[in-house]
A and B are shown apart, each in its own frame.
Chain A
Amino acid sequence: MATNPVPSAPLEAPRAAAKTNRIGLQVLDYRGGKTTLCAGCGHNAISERIIDAFYEMGVQPERVMKLSGIGCSSKSPAYFMSRSHSFNSVHGRMPSVATGALLGNHTMKALAVSGDGDSASIGIGQFVHLMRRNVPMIYIIEDNGVYGLTKGQFSATADIGSKLKTGVINDLPPIDTCTLAIQLGATFVGRSFSGDKKQLLAMLKAAIAHNGTVLLDVISPCVTFNDHEGSTKSYKYMQEHDEAIDEVGFVPFFQEIDVEYDPGTTINVEMHDGSQMRLRKLHEDFDPTDRVASIAAQLHAHANNEVLTGVFYINTQQPSFTEMLNLVDEPLGTLPDDRVRPGRAVLEEMMQRLM
C-alpha cells in the first residue's frame, strides 16, 4: 500500500494566522515531549527533521506508529509526534515488535528509531531479518558509533582506528548497516548526517512515500562521548569527510511537479504514491537502482576513507512483506468476530473427519 496520507478535517479549526499543512494541522501537532538528551545531541536534530517531514507530507499523526529499542536514540520517539502511538521495546528486538505491530494493523505507517548499538550489535539478528523481509517501515539508525546510556563504549559501527575519549582505539572493522541492508533486500537505503538539514529532510520525505523497508543510517555525533579528536563520528570529521553521492530532491505527489530536469545528471524515481524523488548524481556512473553498483560504491568509499551520504539504493518494484502475505484490506487486529471465527459447520465437518 502506498503512503497516501488520509486527508482529514482538522480536529480544531486553526487560528487564521497559523500555518497549516494540507490536512490542516500545524507543525505543533507533530511535536513531542521535551527532550532529555544532551544539548547538541545529533538525535535531537533528527527528531526535528522527522517532525518537519511528517508535517510537510501532511501525514495524520494518528496514522503513524513509532517503535524503538533501547538506548539514547530509542528514547527519542518521546520527543516528537505525541499524537502517534509509540512503543519503546527491548534492546535490539524492535524489528520483531514492529513486524508484529504491522501485521496487527498493516494500514499504519511505521517509523522506527534505533541506534548503532541497538541495531548493529545486540540487534543484528533481528535487523537482518527485517531487511530481508522488506517490512514496510522507515528504520532510522541514529548512528554515533558509541554507547551513550552506558557512558561511552564502542559500538559495532565504530570505524577502525577511531578513538574513545579515554584513549582506547578501536581495532575491529565496522559493520556497514547500509551495505548489509542493500545486500539483504531492503528497498530504500541511504545515509545522511544529522547536521545536514536539507538532505535529511528530503530523504525522510521520500522515505514516507516509499512502500517497503527504508533504512536510513544517520550519522549523529554524540556530543558527550564521541565528538572529540580521533572520533570518526564527530561533527568535525563528518564535515571533512562527508561525500554526498547524490543531491536528493523530493516532490510530494500532491505538489505540482516542476519541469526542472536534466537527464544527463539526474535520476527521477517515481515513488509508490506518485511522488517524485530526484537524485542529482554527484558521482559519475552511480545508479541507485543498481544493487551491485550501490554496494561497490560503499566498498570504494571505505577504501578511500570517505563517508558516503545520499540515497544509495532504491527499488520501487519489489512488493513489501505485507503485500506478499496477501492480507485483507482492513487491519487484522480489529476484524469482526464473523470474519475470524469460522462457522458451526466448519467445526462439525472437522469433527466428522476425526471420527
Chain B
Amino acid sequence: MATEDVALAASAEQGILSKPDTHQQSPRSTIVNDFSIQIATVNGSGSQSANSVLLRSIFRMGIPVSGKNLFPSNIAGLPTWYTIRASKDGYVARKKEIDILIAMNAETSKEDMLSLPVGAAAIYEESADLKQFRNDVACYPVPFDKLTADVCPEAKLRKLVKNMIYVGVAAQLLQMDMQAVEAALRKQFAKKVKAADLNWAAVQAGYEYAAANFTKNDPFQLQPMNATEGKIIIDGNAAAALGCIFAGCTVVMWYPITPSSSLVENFIDLAKRYRIGPDGKATFAIVQAEDELAAIGAVLGAGWSGARSMTATSGPGISLMAEFAGLGYYAELPGVIFDVQRTGPSTGMPTRNQQGALLSVAYLSHGDTKHVMLIPGSVRECYEMAMDAFDLAEQLQTPIFVMSDLDLGMNNWMSEPFTYPEKPLNRGKVLSAEDLTRLGGFARYKDVDGDGIGYRTLPGTDHPLAAYFTRGSGHNEKALYTERPDDYVNNMERLSRKFDTARTLVPQAEIVQTGKSKIGLIAFGTSDFATRESRDQLLKEFNLDTDYLRIRAFPFSREIHEFVASHDRVYVIEQNRDAQMLSLLKLDLEAKDIVRLRSIRHFNGLPIDARSITDDLVTQEGI
C-alpha cells in the first residue's frame, strides 16, 4: 500500500539529519512572515531564555508564531533543537523545511548545515566555517565568544549570555522591531533587572555586529502584523493545570514522568497561589507517589470518598495503571488521568511525540473494559477539557482519560484567552443523608434513571443506610457480593448503557467542513494543525477540496458515524504506526462504512507536518 511507503519514508526522515531538501526557494524574492528558524544547541546550555525571547518578540510584532522544542532524554550535553515558525497564515504545525539555521552546536553543525534546503540562511560561529559545506545557503558567521566577552565581563555568565547574541543577529537580519524584542526580553527576566540589562546588551551587540558586517543575502523578513493582539502564549500542560484549578480539583497524586510532570508542577504553583486560605490552610492535597500504581490508587480512593482527584502520566505510567483502571471501571469510581503521550517505551525516544496510547487506554485493563477519552486539540481545549473531565468523571462515575501529547503539552502555543466557566461544577448523582431518609434507602448499582448510572453515597454520610461495600464486578444492584451469572450479565449490560450515555455527554466532534467533497479527513489532537494546513495545500496545489472532521472524544458521538457514511474515502490522520484511531473507528462503525477508511500516519517522533500529509494523500489518491 502506498501509505506504507510514505510512512516508511517519513520514519527515515529523522528530521534534521536528512539529506538536503529539494524544495526550491528563490533567494531573490522576499519572503515575509512565512518561514521557520531552527536553533541547534547543546542540551543544558541555557538557550531556552533566548529562544523564548525570539518567539515572544515575533508574537509581539503581531505575527502568528509557534515554537517547538526537540530535546533528547538527557540533562546536559546532547544536541537539542528549537524551531520557531512564523506564519502570516496562522499555520502553527511543524514546518518540514528549515529556512534559517542558528547553529550553536559544534557537534551537529555540519549535519545541520547539510540538511538545509537551497536558499536557506545560516547563522553560526565564525570558527566553524560552515560555508565550505554549502555555497547555496546564505552564510552569516559570527564571532560569538568575542562578542560575548565584550559585553559580559563575568566569565561564568558567558555561556548563558552568548545565546542572546544570536537573538540580536537574527533580529537585525530579519529586520525585527527592536522595541518588541526589548519588551519580550524584559518580560522574560521580569524583576531581575540586572540580568535583563546584561542580556539586552548582548542582543544589541549581536544586532550591531550584524548591521556592521553583513550584507543581507537571503529572502526572509519579519514585518509587523496585527494578528496576535489580545492573544496569549501558553503550553498545554500549564493550560490543563489551569483547567484543574478551575475545575475545583482537590486531590492530586502523581509520579514524575516526561512529558507530563510540568502539568502537576504548574498545578502545584497555581494551588499554592490561589487555593490557600488566609489562615494558611489548603483546599488541596498534592502527594508525590512512589509509583503510578499508587498515583491512580489514590486518585480512585479520593474519588470514592468524594474528592475531585487527578494524576498525570505518560505511556509507561498508563501501563502500570492498567489493573486499577479496570477496578475504576467496574467499581465505578470517578477520577481524572491526563495521559501526555510520547513515544514508548522508556528506553525508546521518551522525549519525542506520538499519539500512541489510544488503543491501550481505550481498553485499558482486564475483562470487558472501555474508557472515556477526551482528546484536546489546542491549549484552550487542554484547559476546557480538564474541566469537562472532572464533570464527566463524577457524572459518569468512571475514570476519564485526557489524551494530550508532548507536542501540545510541552510546547508554547498562541491562543485566544481562556474564558471563565459559566456552569457550576457537576458533582453527579450523590445521595445525602436527607435523601436517604426520604427514599428509605438506596441500591448503589440500580439503573433508576435508565442511563446506566446509579446513585452513590460518600463515606461519612450520617445515615445508617448510607454505607455500601465497594468491590469489582462481583456485586448485585445492592452492592452485595454475588457470583450469580444473571447478576453479572445485568451489571455488565448496565455498564454498556452507561457507555452509550457517555457518547451523548462527551465533547462532540468539530466538523470543519462537510458536504462539499467526496473526500473526508479525520484528525485529532495535535494532528489537527498540520491537517488544516495540508487541506490548504491540497486546495491550492492540487485543486482538491476536502471535508474535515476533528474527533474530540471517545466513545464516538453520532456525527462521526454520519461523517464517515457521507464520504467516499475518509483519511484518518494520526501520529502512530498502527493506525490506532482508525482501529477504534472500525470497531464502532457499521461494516459498510469501514471500507471507506484510509490511513495516513506519521510516527518518527517529530510532530506531524502538513507536507507529509499532503504527499501521502496525493499518492493514495493517485493524483
Contacts and interface: CB of A to CB of B under 8 A. Distances in A.
Contacts of A33: 481
A327 B285 contact: yes
A354 interface: yes
B282 interface: yes
B377 interface: no
A99 B245 contact: no
Interface string B250-289: 1101000000000000000000001101001111110101
B467 A62 contact: yes
A6 to B, nearest CB: 9
Interface in B438-484: 457-464, 466-472, 481
Contacts of A98: 301
B88 interface: no
Contacts of B274: 342, 346
Contacts of A337: 248, 424-425
Q: From DSSP, what is the main secondary structure of chain A's interface residues?
A: helix
B282 A65 contact: no
Given A62-B464, A83-B464, 16 more contacts: A62-B460, A87-B470, A93-B293, A96-B294, A99-B301, A100-B304, A101-B301, A103-B298, A103-B301, A104-B306, A105-B305, A105-B306, A342-B274, A351-B232, A354-B233, A355-B232
B481 A328 contact: no
A107 B460 contact: yes
Interface string A17-38: 0000000000001000100000
A101 B281 contact: no
Given A65-B459, A354-B234, A104 B303 contact: yes
Interface in A43-83: 61-63, 65, 67, 77-78, 82-83
Interface stretch (B74-82, B414-422, B504-512, B604-612): B414-422
A8 to B, nearest CB: 8
A351 B281 CA distance: 26
A332 B418 contact: no
B305 A104 contact: yes
A340 interface: yes
Contacts of A61: 464, 467
Interface string B400-431: 00000000000000000110110011000000
A85 B302 CA distance: 13
A88 B480 CA distance: 12
A96 B305 contact: no
B466 A85 contact: yes
Contacts of A347: 242, 246, 418, 420
A95 interface: yes
Contacts of A77: 469
- Of A89, A90, A96, A351, the most chain B CB neighbours within 10 A belong to A96
A82 B467 contact: yes
Contact of A342 (B245, B307, B425, B466): B245
A101 B299 CA distance: 8
Contacts of A133: 287
B305 A100 contact: yes
Contacts of B470: 85-88
Nearest to A62: B462
Contact of A100 (B277, B299, B461, B472): B299
B309 interface: yes
A293 to B, nearest CB: 29
A348 B420 CA distance: 8
Contacts of B247: 341
A322 B280 CA distance: 14
Nearest to A335: B283
A333 to B, nearest CB: 3
- Of B245, B253, B301, B418, the most chain A CB neighbours within 10 A belong to B301
A63 B467 CA distance: 10
A332 B284 contact: yes
Interface of A: 8, 11, 29, 33, 61-63, 65, 67, 77-78, 82-90, 93, 95-105, 107-108, 125-126, 129, 133, 322, 325-329, 331-335, 337, 339-342, 344, 346-348, 350-351, 354-355
Given A90-B324, A99-B253, A104-B251, A62 B463 contact: yes
Given A11-B464, A100-B297, A101-B305, A341 B246 contact: yes
Contacts of A86: 467-470
Closest 10 CB pairs of A and B: A100-B301, A96-B297, A333-B306, A100-B298, A104-B305, A104-B307, A340-B248, A97-B301, A354-B232, A100-B302
B291 interface: yes
A60 to B, nearest CB: 8
A332 B458 CA distance: 12
B251 A100 contact: yes
A70 B58 CA distance: 58
Given A89-B327, A334-B458, A342-B275, A96 B301 contact: yes
Contacts of A8: 462
A77 B471 CA distance: 11
Contact of B471 (A88, A100, A129, A335): A88
A62 to B, nearest CB: 5
- Of A11, A100, A346, the most chain B CB neighbours within 10 A belong to A100
B290 interface: yes
B281 A104 contact: no
A331 B306 contact: yes
Contacts of B498: none
A127 to B, nearest CB: 10
Nearest to A126: B294
B70 interface: no
A119 to B, nearest CB: 14
24 contacts: A29-B464, A84-B467, A86-B467, A88-B471, A93-B323, A96-B296, A99-B253, A99-B297, A99-B298, A103-B287, A103-B307, A104-B301, A104-B309, A126-B297, A133-B287, A327-B283, A332-B284, A334-B458, A340-B248, A341-B247, A342-B274, A346-B274, A347-B246, A347-B420
Contacts of A103: 250-251, 253, 285, 287, 298, 301-302, 305, 307, 309
Given A326-B281, A331-B460, A337-B248, A97 B417 contact: no
B231 interface: yes
B300 interface: yes
B622 interface: no
